[in-house]
């Protein structure tokens, strides 16, 4: 399971329960999701958790943009 931890200010820390030695840091959630999806595709190709989370996050962002128009 991959986890994105957003401090709400400027960084997103990505960690993987299956690879405790691996972590990454990105500057926004879009980059964080992209990093998580790449890690998952390379190291856990049987898993779809990060891809599904990224897809749900993108949909939520699109709904927010639509609601503010």
What does the pLDDT look like over 21-47, one tens digit per residue? 999 999 999 999 999 999 999 999 999
Whether 1 shows a pLDDT value over 80: the answer reads no
Give residue 33's pLDDT: 96
pTM of the model: 0.84
Q: In the prediction, which pLDDT does 44 show?
A: 97
| Burial classification of residue 34, based on how many CB atoms lie within 10 Å of its CB (0-12 exposed, 13-18 middle, 19 or more buried) | middle
Joined tokens for residue 59 = 């949909």
């Amino acid at each position: 399971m991959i986890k994105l931890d957003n401090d709400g200010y400027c960084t997103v820390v990505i960690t993987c329960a299956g690879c405790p030695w691996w972590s990454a840091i990105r500057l926004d959630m879009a980059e964080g999701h992209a990093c998580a999806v790449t890690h998952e595709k390379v190291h856990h190709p049987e898993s779809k958790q990060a891809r599904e989370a990224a897809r749900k996050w993108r949909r939520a962002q699109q709904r927010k943009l639509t609601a503010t128009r």
